Amino acid sequence: MADNRSSPADPPVERFAPSPSGRLHLGHAFSAMLAHDAARAAGGRFLLRIEDLDAGRSREGFAAAIAEDLRWLGLRWDGPVLRQSGRADAYAQALARLEALGVLYPCGCTRADIAAAAAAPQEGADAPPVYPGTCRNRTAPPDGPVAQRLDLARALEALGPSLPRLGFTEIGAGPQGETGWRPLDPDALLRREGDAVLARKDAAAAYHLAVVVDDAAQGVTHVTRGEDLFAATALHVVLQALLGLPTPAYRHHRLIRDASGQRLAKRDDARSLASLRDAGASPDDVRAMVGLAPAETAP
């Protein structure tokens, strides 16, 4: 029987989807250039989406700076820019569908509750602890504002016989070797992602839901992202299957690190494209810094 992979025949639709919570750095440039170059080489489209769901951290000035940095790099996107802040209805529809499947539950936990309940300190400062399931079996709804979480075990159960056929096509090397089909590993997913938040207390949706809904709405066939999101991709495959959405191919790329081996973050202003440009770097210098050929010779 057919699995969930998308048809390779059509011209690809690639995208870059930054959050406007800081200046773009070398890691963003690498992601954007890989997606852009792949789209152009195959006669496909390259889309820009601004992931401004988090009103507290998003700034208009950063959204404008993203466009400016991309233009400076020589990247042009096709069609209008999609803003997640205008997509509340689409996210509400997706949440209603998941609710009807019985795979959501309200969660009133704070970050501090979750950290305190986590069995052991988690590896890596950036990785939030996997949710220990505190609110999953509550009989009464929690007090105060709630988030909506995916009951992952139930979701996997709801997928029933289609589960063994789920997976995605990896077109970058990714953390697990060669290009090829990556079957879903439900146990690894339960261990690494657990019951993810799909609607935040303070926003119409959370990243995992919005990214899946929007990639489908924009007809994205190829997603380029850092290999730190490899486990998240498996969760996205589950959400796509629950919502009846196609699964794109995924290109997980190596992370760009600073001289001490740390992955770059928005706070690393020294590696922002703006500071590199101010220091006299050219777009081809930026390409060389992340190991890409100059623009005119790129595929």
Binding site for ligand GLU (CB under 6 A): 17-19, 51, 211, 223, 225, 229
- Segment (H or E) for 106: strand 104-107
- Residue 56 Cα to chain centre, angstroms: 19
- Is the CB of 232 or the CB of 289 nearer to ligand GLU? 232
Residue nearest to ligand GLU (CB): 225
Beta bridge pairs of residue 169: 181
Least Å from the CB of residue 182 to ligand GLU: 16
Least Å from the CB of residue 161 to ligand GLU: 29
Contacts 24+ apart (CB under 8 A), 130-138: 130/191, 130/192, 130/193, 130/194, 131/107, 131/194, 131/195, 131/196, 131/197, 133/194, 133/195, 134/107, 134/109, 135/105, 135/106, 135/107, 135/108, 135/109, 136/105, 136/195, 138/105
- Is the CB of 131 or the CB of 250 nearer to ligand GLU? 250
DSSP letters spanning 126-192: TSPPPP--TTTT-SSPPSS--EEEE-HHHHHHHHGGGGGG-EEEE-S--TTSSSEEEE--HHHHHHH
- Is the CB of 51 or the CB of 170 nearer to ligand GLU? 51
Least Å from the CB of residue 17 to ligand GLU: 4
- Is the CB of 107 or the CB of 206 nearer to ligand GLU? 206
Least Å from the CB of residue 108 to ligand GLU: 26
Least Å from the CB of residue 157 to ligand GLU: 26
Least Å from the CB of residue 188 to ligand GLU: 19
- Is the CB of 3 or the CB of 227 nearer to ligand GLU? 227
Measured CA to CA, the distance from residue 101 to residue 149 in angstroms comes to 13
Measured CA to CA, the distance from residue 207 to residue 224 in angstroms comes to 16
- Is the CB of 251 or the CB of 287 nearer to ligand GLU? 251
